[in-house]
Structure 1
Amino acid sequence: MRPVHPAPSAQPMLIGARLRSTRRAQGLTIDQVAEATGLTKGFISRVERDATSPSVATLVTLCQVLSLPIGSLFDAPVHEVITLDAAPRINMGGTGADERMLTPRSEARVQVLRSRLEAGATGGAEMYTINCDVEVLHVLSGSVVLHLTGEDIALQAGDTVTFSGQEPHNWSNPGDTVAEVMWTIAPAAWSGSS
C-alpha cells in the first residue's frame, strides 16, 4: 500500500475579511494602511476582497501595521451552539425567574441571558447595577416593567430598551401571565472590561 500524503486544500484561504475588519476596528482607512505599508490602495483592496493573495513578506507587513498576529489569520473560527434546554441556569438575584445563560462562560465580550418571569416576578427588593457598559432588555412575550431611578418603563412583547448597566435599575412582571425576555450585557458582567 502506498503512503497517502497530505494534499493542500482545494479551498483558498480567505483572510481578506479578517484584515478588513481589523483595519476598520482600528479606525484606519485603506489610504492610511497603503501609506504605512508602501502598498497601493488597489492592492490592499484586492487583498481585503480575497481577489489576490499577498506574498508572505507582504502579509507580514500588513499584519505588523495592523498589530495583528499573523497566525490569527489562519485560526479556525470558533462557534459554540448552546440550545435553550442545555443552557445553564443562573441566579441573578430575582424571585420568580428562571434564567439561563445562552453565551459560553468563556465569552467576555457579551453575555446573553433568557429569562422566564412568572407573574409577580421581580429583580429583588432594591435597585442594582451590573458591571458592564450597556444592557439591552428585549421582551419576547408578555410584559415587564423596567424600574430606573425616577422612571418606570412599561415594555410589551417586541419592545427593546437599551441603558447603562451602571445605572441603578430593577424589573418586575406585574402582569398575570408569564413573560419571557432576553438580556444582552456588554461586556459580560464578570469580564472586568468595564
Structure 2
Amino acid sequence: MQAPTAHTKTKAKGQPTELGAAIRRRRKAMGQTLDQVAKATDLTTGFLSQVERGLSSPSLTSLMAIAAALQTSIEQLLSVPEVFSEYVAKDARQTYSLGTRGRFYEKLGPGFAGALFHPQIVHRPPGHVSEKMCHGGEAFCYLLSGQLEYHLGDKVFILSPGDVIHHDTSVRHYSVVLGEVEAVELWVTTSPMAEAG
C-alpha cells in the first residue's frame, strides 16, 4: 500500500457504519450483550450502541479494548490485513481511518506477534476532540505538526511541533486539535489487551 500523499490524505474517509456493523456481527457471534462488552471495556452501553449504529466512532484505544473484549483484533474488525514486520518502509505503511472526519492512522508496527508497543502516526483535522479516556497502560506522543491542547487529569498542556507528552493512561486524558491545520502525531502506546485478557 502506498504512503498517503497530501492528495490521498484528504480522500481518506472511514466508514463508521461498516465498522459498527462488524462489531455488532462479532458481538452477536460471541453471544455477548452490549452490557457485557461495556463492562469488559469500561465504555458505556450507550456509546457502544452508537458505535454499532455508525453514529459515533471509537478512538484507537477504545477500539483496541472492544476488539480484546470480543477476542479479535482491530485488523479483523476493520478488514485490514494483520502484517507483522520488523521493518516498515515509509512507502509501504498500512493506513486506515476511524470515522468520517478526516481522522486516519498510519501503522508503524507492531513488528511481531505479542508486541506490547503499538506505534502509529495519527492525523486529526482541526477542532477534533478525542474521547475522554482512562485505562491501563502508558502513552507517548511526539507532535510532528499542528497544535494540541492536552488534558491530563487536572493539568492542561499546549503542545507545539517537537513537544512530547508521556504518561500513565490510568489518568483521565483527552486532547483537542487547535488552530486551522491538521495535527500529525507520532504515538507509541501499550496495548490494553494485556490487562483485559
Q: TM-score if structure 1 supplies the norm length?
A: 0.49
Greater relative CO, 1 or 2 (CA 8 Å, sep 6+): 2
Find the structure with the greater CA-based Rg.
Answer: 1
TM-score by length of 2: 0.49
In terms of fraction of residues, the more helix-rich structure is 2
